[in-house]
Amino acid sequence: SIQDKNALHLYSVNGKYLGSETLKEEVSDMCVSGEYIVMGSLQGFLSIRDLYSLSLSISPLAMRLPIHCISVTKEYSHILVGLEDGKLIIVGVGKPAEV
């Protein structure tokens, strides 16, 4: 975060710069899950981005409170979101019929 600007930068394993994406929110936690980056922000948004293009896979989900931590289950079926007030939100992953 430099002068109220946040960005996500992508590098190869060898350190080659591959690209970046400017973010509107301040990232509080993130994890890589398969081919996706799952990010939580202090503004209360849960975002899922493609690992290689950094573009949003779906529109951000509003959690209404700052997100403190996120985790993805081993089977990639759910995202666990810890909020500032201590609540744990469980988000199903997949098509609505699968969830």
Does 46 have pLDDT greater than 70? yes
pLDDT computed for residue 5 by the predictor: 81
Share of the chain above pLDDT 90, in %: 83
Does 33 have pLDDT greater than 50? yes
Does 97 have pLDDT greater than 90? no
Share of the chain above pLDDT 70, in %: 91
Does 71 have pLDDT greater than 50? yes
- 53-78: average pLDDT: 94
Task: Take residue 18 and report the two structure tokens written for it.
Answer: 């591959």
The structural domains of the chain, ordered by start, are 2-92 (2.40.128.630)
d(CA 7, CA 85): 27
d(CA 40, CA 49): 11
Smallest CA-to-CA distance from 67 within 86, 33, 34, 40 is with 40
* Most confident region among 1-5, 73-77, 87-91, 94-98 by mean pLDDT: 87-91
Are 83 and 63 within 8 A, CB to CB?
Answer: yes
d(CA 75, CA 3): 39
- 34-45: average pLDDT: 95
